[in-house]
Amino acid sequence: MTATRRVTLITGASDGIGLEFARVFARHGHDLALTGRRADRLEALADEIAAAGRPRPLVLPCDLAPADAPGRLAEALTEADGAVEMLVNNAGFGLNGAFDALPREEQLAMVDLNVRALVALTHLFLPDVRAARGGVLNVASIAGFAPGPHMAVYYATKAFVLSFSQALHEELRPHGVRVTALCPGPVPTGFQSRAGIAESVAGSAAALSARATAEAGYAGFRDGRRVVTPGSVNKGLAMALACMPRRFLLPRLAARQASRRTDGLKSSHS
């Protein structure tokens, strides 16, 4: 019988930060399992990693939004004789617009993917992660440090991810398991345009490339840090968001987010 492959499972690996995480983890010697909605992109990424002399990642296409998807992914991984040593919860999407103007179904789908699926995957794979004394890297956001008028549900989901990750960091540290929350600021990917946010946001002083963001996330995760906020501008902004009284902060956030709006109500999945 073939020995079980201990893998780093990366969700939302077909684009953006998830794709760069795959490259970074592979470069540092991790065997990978890649999941996302776009099978062709996952296969191309697996071919690229194999061509660089690394083991070809397991490719497990899956839309994680449906309630049964995490269980189906776990079954597919077991059938491929894989066991999760490191889990990178990167899949997620955002919506920009007034809460009562955005479709209810899409906002609930955002909660399902950004929160429910992340919790389900972490719970499903934690026994293997603990056995391997591995880790969980959750992609939160600088949005998790404050409420977000005009992106109310998205900001709330990222606040959940940040809080959840910090709690698990303390719970699992005695067991030799690392848990890190990555809290990036703007990252130039397809997220902004598909979420209905002005493209100029990605060119702000706080923006970092997906590659730089993934590198920073990997380094902080490797070092066992609880929270990683890449970039000096973002670190300063996170501190300000955490400290500023909400009565002063919220009107400024509302005006800033409204100015970022593009036409249409759009979403971005990773």
Residues tagged active-site: 154
What H or E segment, with its residue span, contains residue 47?
Answer: helix 39-51
Residue 89 in contact with residue 121, Cβ under 8 Å? yes
Rg (CA), the chain: 18
**What is the spatial distance between Cα 22 and Cα 88, in angstroms, rounded to a whole number?**
10
Residue whose C-alpha is closest to residue 270's, from 205, 203, 214: 214
Helix, strand, coil in percent for the chain, rounding step 5: 55, 15, 35
Residue whose C-alpha is closest to residue 92's, from 74, 68, 111: 111
Residue whose C-alpha is closest to residue 56's, from 86, 90, 22: 22
Residue 132 in contact with residue 83, Cβ under 8 Å? yes
Neighbours of 194 (CB within 10 A): 18
Helices 118-132 and 69-79, packing angle to 10 deg? 30
Question: Tokens 């992340």 correspond to what residue?
Answer: 118
Structure tokens at 83: 């066991």
Task: Output the CA torsion sign for 28, 29, 33, 38.
Answer: positive
Residue 174 in contact with residue 196, Cβ under 8 Å? no
